[in-house]
Structure 1
Amino acid sequence: MPAFEPVLLARVNKPNSAALEGYRADGGYETLKKALGMSPAEVTDLVKNSGLRGRGGAGFPTGLKWTFLPKDHPGPVYLCINADESEPGTFNNRILMEYDPHQLIEGIAIACYAIKSNRAYLYLRYEYGKSYRVLEKAIQECYAAGILGDNVLGQGFQLDIVLHRGAGAYICGEETGLIESLEGKRAWPRIKPPFPAIEGLFRKPTIVNNVETLCCVTHIVNRGIEWFKSIGIPPESGNPRDAGSYGPKLYTVAGHVNNPGCFELPMGVTARELIDVHAGGVWKGRKAKAVVPGGISMGFFSADELDTPLDFAGPGKRGCLGLGTAAVVVVDDQTSMVDVLYNCCRFFSHESCGQCTPCREGTAWMTKILERIRAGHGRLEDLDLLMEVASSMGIIPGTTICGLSDGAAWPVKNALTKFRPEFEEYIKSGRKSVDPVHYAH
């Protein structure tokens, strides 16, 4: 792949990159001024025709989502920015917020203008203390400079941004769970329809977009559709369900690598290149046994699937749920997949909101089965039982309101399909990964 010039991360290594003065010196908010000289419909069409897809996990076309708002609604219309970033292994939004917050604020302002919204709610996970402080200061700078408030850049557009800290729950990353939390309620996802674009925050039309998605909006308006589409992967020929994977993407790499970090690359880089070239390879001279392509809810690649492109279509061809947040987690060949899967199941069991019985009971059941296996009391039929439970929960079989249970089930399905001999050997050998006293407790 030819050398790629970072766009989203272009400013993160500059001195005082979070300050308004530095951002404006690099041309900051000139794109917002350009957008305000267009009509909202023109901005929406620009984003729609660029092929930008949401970077938060689902990959839904951003501009198309904006068009779902009711036409000529009396208002108010709201924009909610999903900065919860609770998918394990994910930290690309954190980098953007802490080192270049004005890039995000400019994207928010452009999106609000496009959807005719005068108020945006930036929903931030509570654990991101530095992000909160940086964003709070940046927002105050914008109010003082006339970039936010009653007369944005003197163009007659009014916009307020409300910075809201969540309570540290995974389920708040689901858009209707986020909206419920913003309203001061328990973050139980809503049954859809109605979708947020019709009835969202405070029962008003609402668009929910991810941080990285909105940062891309700024560059699309600035550089144009052709530039954005020149990066990434076009739709697969003959596949009407593939909308393409265009633009730059932030990939985070964690786990058993020599150089973990956040890397900006064109959509479609392979997992192997990302790990070996950019993340310095697997640590301690070992090899990769399994790789999570985009947060643990997406499932696993096996070692022979690492040449898969990390775009919106690639992971699905390897039995994974999708690209997700593009948070790659590497598991080396000396790590037990039984322990890895147990950690995944324990996490989702803890984070299930409990509203849907298949998710509440299924995640807990899978965790208990893996606890029994790790305590040396596993049975071979437990593996079939795990697969049966995993196949009976989630939106995809139509048993739950939101996708948390799909995310909980997918690692189980993947691990048992791709690494079953390791699970069988573990059970047959009677190995113990936990203290029996702890297990009994």
Structure 2
Amino acid sequence: MTAQVSGGVTALDVDRIRNDFPVLSRELPGGRPLVYLDSGNSSQKPVQVVETMREHLSMHYSNVGRAMHVLGAESTEAYENARDKVAAFVGAPSRDEIVFTKNASEALNLVAYAFGNPAGSDERFRMGPGDEIVISEMEHHSNIVPWQLLAQRTGATLRWFPVTDDGRLDLSGIGDLVNERTKIVSIAHQSNVLGTVNPVADVLARVRDVGALLMLDASQAVPHHPADFAALGVDFVAFTGHKMLGPSGIGVLWGRRELLDAMPPFLGGGEMIEAVWMDRSTYAPVPHKFEAGTPPIVEAIGLGAAVDYLNAVDMRAVEAHERALTAYALDALREIPGLRVIGPTTLESRGGTVSFTLEGIHPHDVGQILDDSFGVAVRVGHHCARPLHLRFGIPATTRASFYLYNTTGEIDALVRGLHYVQKVFA
């Protein structure tokens, strides 16, 4: 899946990769070829992932855990092997620090639920009036609403980093914002709108100074950059499978083992218990303490297959390919009069997501014409980041997001489509 070597990183063989994604050769109604530039929302799936899930459902499926028969053993082994693969992929020090959830939103809610919970006793998770939670103005709603709910539930105060005009996290007031009252800071590793890759080390240094915890929403980072959670040094990371070639219905929470041990369960039910009496229960060790009921078995196995695929490609090559695509796109979009990129306009600390507005044309119209006339699939709206759009004084943006299977020719198709949109509204 890779080709010539450049600068120590093997370049992607994009033509070969595209052959693994049948949908990319699909002809849309009217004979239009599909140009899929919406991987920031959800990636397409290679045949290797689809076939792994089909084969498990067809030949090995059973519930996991305590089944004393062949299918149960095979299913449990495949499910736990997927946990091992994910742990290695993100540099988790222990497989037991990988908790399977149904998506990143659940992972974020799981951590937020631990704070101020009467079932918990660890001082680090006590939350009440006078305590503070810090997020940022660029967050996805999944990293806003759980913390709003926590503040409402406990009387704590919710605060946030502002965003600069060029789409960067504004750290100028970090000394006041993150202080001795702060219990947790939760920010995006990479923005789903701006493409900004945030300065985790700078934030972490201040978080450690005040004795708080740091969580990352890495849903837009893990699929696109080599990951090493141990090296990052943070406390929790949430990400999701469907943006990294895996199926929907599977997400991941990584947390430091001692913190996961200290947290109360999020959901109660089967498989998360050690023993149950009518008046009390004891709980299974992590990660199973947080995986109540029948888990997303086949989805986890599919995520493991996606990890295998990305490892075979090499995440350094994925990152380099997307960086080249982003540079090409930023240059090409500058040619379009009236187009405004919302976010960084250089490659410094940014990923392959480019959001923009066209003067005088609503993004919904842009997206519809691109699809109807050119087969170009982009995302339009506020991308579950409405406060960020309010900060920039706009209701919505058009977002093009790139992945390992995209080409410069597809960016050219986007640019041709945008010129056509302008002619329609001239």
After TM superposition, the score normalised by the length of structure 2 is 0.29
Indicate the structure with greater strand content: 2
